[in-house]
């Protein structure tokens, strides 16, 4: 670990990035880890978050007691058709970028950060450009296998580029590869502290048969209709082979509950349906033998840190098709199964069946998943931040 003894007693950090949890929560975890590192050596952290007024970061940062400000931003609406890129909305938004850069430059000049950490999202671009203009060290963190659009724009200005996977390195431009270091994607430390028995108790899973594997199905906080529908259609088969915790999103609970009413009482006891999983998530993950989910960067970081076998159903509309790249990367490593293209009950049964009926296959996939994980990613990223500040 890098020493902070040569750094100022009060370390000044600007964080920029957000819009979604994939950009927001790694930044928050890095802030917490940096605070702990500095406190251990008698230092303090003064942090300012530059984000958007309507992004997730606008709620998360103030709730964590982090100073928060906004700048004008321009969102690029991507399309495979170059002509559609020149849309009125894109032109209007891009016209806001110079204003955002000017605002960010003033913020950076006034705050005088030791380092600027950018975690992606279009709001990161103005602050990242301001870092270069004000000659402040810029650390980029990329959560996905391929650099996102914002980080691609900022790569040439970065002091360090922290990536989450070794497989990202050959995808970087030659001109910036020397600035890259593999840190992993920071995950909340509480994710690693779950207990399976606590999940059984908290969720009152009295009908679960602990001799059977447990499958955790999730489509994210709001649920995913595609995942919900294929699980609905395969449910009688699934609960004959496993216990199931299905986090479906609050809007989908009643529809799925009506469908599950046709299950036999014994089978119904092995199916737990919920709209949302909150503080008990670490315990649910500890209980799960297999996870069926989207393949966002945060999900991959958590599941590989825990060494969980997974069946991924990527979000087809994710930016740059990043979820498919993420899922394919783990499948190539033998750490997951990626369902790409049309999602059918037959495909899901073919993917899940061997994992449910062959414990040795689950063990092997779990070991390969854990080999891809970096549970110490937050500390690694803190090392990079401190190194950038030290020159």
User: In this structure, are 290 and 153 located in the same domain?
Assistant: no
Q: Check: CB of residue 224 under 8 Å from CB of residue 249.
A: yes
Q: Check: CB of residue 234 under 8 Å from CB of residue 221.
A: no
What are phi and psi for residue 144, nearest 5 degrees?
-100, 175
Q: How confident is the model at residue 221 (pLDDT cuts 50, 70, 90)?
A: confident
Strand 310-312 versus strand 290-293 pairing type: parallel
User: In this structure, are 261 and 171 located in the same domain?
Assistant: no
Q: Check: CB of residue 283 under 8 Å from CB of residue 201.
A: no
Sheet holding 44-51, edge to edge: 67-70, 44-51, 10-16, 115-118, 138-142, 160-163, 180-182
User: In this structure, are 128 and 159 located in the same domain?
Assistant: yes
pLDDT in tens, 365-374: 999 999 999 9
- Which are the contacts of 74, defined by CB distance < 8 A and separation ≥ 6? 90, 93, 94, 95, 96, 97, 100, 122
How far is residue 121's CA from residue 26's CA, in Å, rounded to a whole number? 13
What are phi and psi for residue 219, nearest 5 degrees?
-115, 20
For residue 91, pLDDT over 60 is answered with no
For residue 85, pLDDT over 50 is answered with no
Q: Is residue 2 part of a domain?
A: no
> CB 70: neighbour CB atoms within 10 A?
18
pLDDT in tens, 283-308: 999 999 999 999 999 999 999 999 99
Closest CA to 124 of 155, 95, 145: 155
Place of tokens 């990079």: 384
What b/e readout covers 252-275, taking b as 16+ CB neighbours within 10 angstroms?
bbeebeeebeebeeebebbbbbbb
For 86, the token pair is 């020149």
Q: Is residue 5 part of a domain?
A: no
How far is residue 387's CA from residue 313's CA, in Å, rounded to a whole number? 38
Closest CA to 246 of 267, 270, 274: 274
Name beta bridge partners: 46: 12
Q: Residue 46: helix, strand or coil by DSSP? A: strand
121-130, 146-155, 260-269, 288-297: least confidently modelled range: 146-155
Q: Given this model, what pLDDT does residue 97 score?
A: 81
Q: Is residue 4 part of a domain?
A: no
Distance from chain centroid for Cα 364: 24
Mean pLDDT of 54-62: 94
Q: Residue 217: helix, strand or coil by DSSP? A: strand
- Side-chain half-sphere of 342: how many Cα atoms within 13 Å? 3
User: In this structure, are 150 and 275 located in the same domain?
Assistant: no
Closest CA to 334 of 298, 362, 306, 299: 362
For residue 215, pLDDT over 90 is answered with yes
Q: Is residue 3 part of a domain?
A: no
Q: How confident is the model at residue 81 (pLDDT cuts 50, 70, 90)?
A: low
pLDDT in tens, 1-47: 555 656 668 999 999 998 888 899 999 999 999 999 999 999 999 99
User: In this structure, are 308 and 331 located in the same domain?
Assistant: yes
Q: Check: CB of residue 71 under 8 Å from CB of residue 127.
A: yes
Task: Give the end-to-end CA distance of the chain in Å, rounded to a whole number.
Answer: 16
Give CA separation, 319 vs 45, 217, 290, 296, 385, in Å.
33, 23, 26, 11, 27
User: In this structure, are 211 and 176 located in the same domain?
Assistant: no
User: In this structure, are 166 and 309 located in the same domain?
Assistant: no
Q: Given this model, what pLDDT does residue 46 score?
A: 98
Q: Is residue 249 part of a domain?
A: yes
How far is residue 370's CA from residue 336's CA, in Å, rounded to a whole number? 11
3-state secondary structure 85-109: HCCHHHHHHHCCHHHHHHHHHHHHH
User: In this structure, are 56 and 163 located in the same domain?
Assistant: yes
Q: Given this model, what pLDDT does residue 319 score?
A: 64
- Which are the contacts of 110, defined by CB distance < 8 A and separation ≥ 6? none
For residue 262, pLDDT over 50 is answered with yes
Q: Is residue 258 part of a domain?
A: yes
Q: Given this model, what pLDDT does residue 146 score?
A: 84
Radius of gyration of the chain (CA): 22
Q: Is residue 173 part of a domain?
A: yes
User: In this structure, are 111 and 58 located in the same domain?
Assistant: yes
CATH number for the domain including 70?
3.40.50.2000
Mean pLDDT of 298-321: 90
Q: How confident is the model at residue 341 (pLDDT cuts 50, 70, 90)?
A: confident
Q: Given this model, what pLDDT does residue 320 score?
A: 65
Q: Given this model, what pLDDT does residue 77 score?
A: 46
Q: Given this model, what pLDDT does residue 83 score?
A: 52
146-160, 227-241, 317-331, 351-365: least confidently modelled range: 317-331
User: In this structure, are 31 and 128 located in the same domain?
Assistant: yes
Mean pLDDT of 100-108: 96
Q: Which residue has the higher pLDDT, 359 or 76?
A: 359
What are phi and psi for residue 312, nearest 5 degrees?
-100, 135
Dihedral sign (CA 227, 230, 234, 235): positive
User: In this structure, are 26 and 173 located in the same domain?
Assistant: yes
Average pLDDT, the chain: 92
Domain that holds residue 133: 10-187+375-390
Write the Ramachandran bin of 131: left for phi over 0, alpha for psi from -120 to 50, otherwise beta.
alpha
User: In this structure, are 220 and 100 located in the same domain?
Assistant: no
Q: Is residue 1 part of a domain?
A: no
Number of domains making up the chain: 2
């Amino acid at each position: 670990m890098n020493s902070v003894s040569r750094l100022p007693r009060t370390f000044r950090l600007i964080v920029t990035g957000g819009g979604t949890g994939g950009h927001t929560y790694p930044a928050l975890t890095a802030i917490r880890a940096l605070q702990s590192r500095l406190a251990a050596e008698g230092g303090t952290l003064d942090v300012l978050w530059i984000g958007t007024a309507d992004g997730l970061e606008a709620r998360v940062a103030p709730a964590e007691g982090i100073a928060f400000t906004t700048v004008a931003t321009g969102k690029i609406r991507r399309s495979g058709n170059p002509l559609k890129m020149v849309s009125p909305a894109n032109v209007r938004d891009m016209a806001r970028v110079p204003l955002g850069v000017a605002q960010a430059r003033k913020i950076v000049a006034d705050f005088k950060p030791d380092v600027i950490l950018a975690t992606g999202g279009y709001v990161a671009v103005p602050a990242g450009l301001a870092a270069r203009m004000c000659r402040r060290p810029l650390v980029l963190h990329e959560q996905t296998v391929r650099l996102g659009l914002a980080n691609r724009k900022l790569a040439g200005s970065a002091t360090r580029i922290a990536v989450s996977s070794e497989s990202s390195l050959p995808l970087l431009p030659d001109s910036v590869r020397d600035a890259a270091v593999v840190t992993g994607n920071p995950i909340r430390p509480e994710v690693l502290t779950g207990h399976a028995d606590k999940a059984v108790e908290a969720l009152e899973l009295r009908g679960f048969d602990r001799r059977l594997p447990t499958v955790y199905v999730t489509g994210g906080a709001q649920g995913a209709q595609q995942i919900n529908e294929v699980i609905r259609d395969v449910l009688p088969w699934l609960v004959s082979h496993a216990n199931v915790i299905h986090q479906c999103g609050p809007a989908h609970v009643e529809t799925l509950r009506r469908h599950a009413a046709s299950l036999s009482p014994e089978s119904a006891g092995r199916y737990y349906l919920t709209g949302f999983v909150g503080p008990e998530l670490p315990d649910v993950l500890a209980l799960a033998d297999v996870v069926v989910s989207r393949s966002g960067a945060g999900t991959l970081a958590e599941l590989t840190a825990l060494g969980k076998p997974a069946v991924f159903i990527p979000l087809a509309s994710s930016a740059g098709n990043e979820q498919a790249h993420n899922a394919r990367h783990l499948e190539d490593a033998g750490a997951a199964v990626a369902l790409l293209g049309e999602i059918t009950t037959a495909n899901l049964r073919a993917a899940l069946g061997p994992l449910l009926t062959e414990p040795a296959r689950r063990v092997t996939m779990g070991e390969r998943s854990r080999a891809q994980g970096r549970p110490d990613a937050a500390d690694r990223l803190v090392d990079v931040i401190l190194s950038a500040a030290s020159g």
